[in-house]
Amino acid sequence: MQQLMTWVNSILNARGNEEQGTSAVEYAILIILIAALVVTAGSTLGNAVSNAISTMATKIVFP
C-alpha cells in the first residue's frame, strides 16, 4: 500500500498545470477505489472458502 501511495504522490507532483492535476486526482481516486474493491472481494472470497473448508471438515467421518 505504501508503494501505491508513493506512486500516486509522484503522479500528483509530476503534473504541471491545474487541469492535469485534476486528472491525476481523478486517477488517484479510481486507484484507491479499485484497491478497496480488491481487498473487499479478497476478504469475502477468503471467508467463503474458509467456511466451505470448515463445512467439509466437519462432515468427514473417521472410522
- pLDDT tens by residue, 31-57: 999 999 999 988 888 888 999 999 998
In a domain, 61, yes or no: no
Domain count across the chain: 1
In a domain, 62, yes or no: no
- Please give the Cα distance from 11 to 3 (Å, whole number): 12
Tell me which residue has cell 479499485. 34
Give the other-Cβ count within 10 Å of 34's Cβ.
10
In a domain, 9, yes or no: yes
Domain that holds residue 25: 2-56
CB 32 within 8 A of CB 49: no
Query: What's the whole-model pTM score?
Result: 0.50
- What is the 8-class DSSP label of residue 61? -
pLDDT the model gives residue 55: 92
pLDDT the model gives residue 8: 75
